[in-house]
Amino acid sequence: MSGLVTTIIPVYNRAAMLADAVASVLAQTHRPIEIVIVDDGSTDDTPSAIEALARAHAGVRALRIPNGGPGTAREAARVIAAGEFIQHLDSDDLIDPRKFELQVAALREHPDCGIAYCKARLVNADGSVDPTPSRRTGERFDTMFPAMLQSRWWETAAPLYRASLIRDAGPWLPLRAEEDWEFDARIAVNGVRVCFIDEWLCSHRRHDANISGHFDERTLRDRAIAHAAIYRHATAAGIGADAPEMRHFARELFLLARQCGSLGLTTEAAMLFDLARDASGGERDRLQFRAFDALVRLTGWTVAGKVAAAIDRMR
């Protein structure tokens, strides 16, 4: 539908914060809107909270799927989203009332752009707000790559996408980690142009559940899959080993390979190590790879990974 903005919100066991997120969408000055909430197999009172929201607001659509992580949840919503524009929103974050109004206007004004993004606040667990924009959302970029290879430089709530980009990108990978970075890197391949709205229009809320890091086998497997896909997208976009962003990503691949090795994920470790060598363009890095390869051949991936992890902790 022309002008319709569809907001996709995956949620798992987060009823109270979800209500705030939905309220921030309903407060938008822009119309028309729809909200697709995907309950990712919650085990608390989140399903009943979603049902109440759907009953109270005609524009709220509710889906419930078996727990599969945010990638699977976003894909369930992607295939039914009816909007001309797509907003992804984590269930613990908020958007400001004029976000859609300003970003839709920007995309109308700049038909060559596929995404409009804004500055994002970082709201700490104690309620304080960082004085500078979160990640790199205060910087002006014309395209997603090459910066998107170095990091996912915006918060999930910051960009508003043309739905055509989301459709053309294809299905979300069924991952629980870095699925959003991979999806954005996939969109970036074709050089989509982006426009910057120099306004604070969303808030990323930090809390106990999203501050603590995860270092387990399932998370590392998903990160390995995502990193391998991101590397493929970057090479398809023509980013070579001489680019500083690719050199940075090569080090990321190497670090993740060592982490996977330390947990016995030898298939993932070997794959990432090979990609890191391919991505690296520096002689110093190549010497480091040769030394680590010799250690792997001597001790095996698990021991080599644990030794490397111990050295990393001492630095």
For the segment 252-277, what is each residue's pLDDT rounded down to a tens digit? Answer: 999 999 999 999 999 999 999 999 99
199 in the same domain as 159: yes
CA distance 202 to 260: 35
Q: What CA–CA distances, in Å, run from 312 to 204, 305, 308?
A: 30, 10, 6
CA distance 6 to 59: 10
pLDDT, residue 17, reads 94
CA distance 40 to 265: 27
**In the chain, what percentage of residues exceed pLDDT 90?**
87
pLDDT, residue 274, reads 94
How many domains in the chain?
2
269 in the same domain as 204: no
109 in the same domain as 252: no
Q: What angle do CA 84, 226, 135 make, to 5 degrees?
A: 70
Residue 238 dihedral angles phi and psi, to the nearest 5°: 90, 15
pTM: 0.94
pLDDT tens digits for 70-89? 999 999 999 999 999 999 99
**In the chain, what percentage of residues exceed pLDDT 70?**
96
Per DSSP, the three-state class of 286 is helix
Which helix (H) or strand (E) is 34 found in, with range? Answer: strand 33-40
* Other Cβ atoms closer than 10 A to 99: 28
Residue 223 lies in a domain: no
Residue 160 lies in a domain: yes
Q: What CA–CA distances, in Å, run from 61 to 3, 35, 57, 66, 90?
A: 18, 6, 9, 17, 16
Provide block-wise average pLDDT over 10 residues at a time, the chain (315 residues): 95 95 98 98 96 95 96 98 98 97 98 98 94 97 97 97 97 97 97 98 88 76 98 97 94 94 95 94 72 91 85 66
140 neighbors 134 (Cβ within 8 angstroms): no
Residue 106 lies in a domain: yes
- 89: tokens are 């929103």
Residue 222 lies in a domain: no
137 in the same domain as 25: yes
Residue ending a domain, among 191, 211, 231, is 211
Residues facing residue 310 across a β-bridge: none
33 in the same domain as 128: yes
What's the DSSP call for residue 173? P
- 197: tokens are 């709205």
CA distance 117 to 43: 34
Task: Give me the CATH number covering residue 56.
Answer: 3.90.550.10
pLDDT, residue 214, reads 61
pLDDT, residue 208, reads 76
245 neighbors 281 (Cβ within 8 angstroms): no
272 neighbors 228 (Cβ within 8 angstroms): yes
Residue 10 lies in a domain: yes
Determine whether 259 is exposed, middle or buried from the number of CB atoms within 10 Å of its CB (0-12, 13-18, 19+). buried
- 39: tokens are 């309950």
Residue 231 lies in a domain: no
Residue 217 lies in a domain: no
Residue ending a domain, among 190, 211, 232, is 211
pLDDT, residue 109, reads 98
- 185: tokens are 């890197």
199 in the same domain as 270: no
Residue ending a domain, among 194, 211, 228, is 211
Residues facing residue 23 across a β-bridge: none
Range of the domain at 278: 240-314
Residue 278 lies in a domain: yes
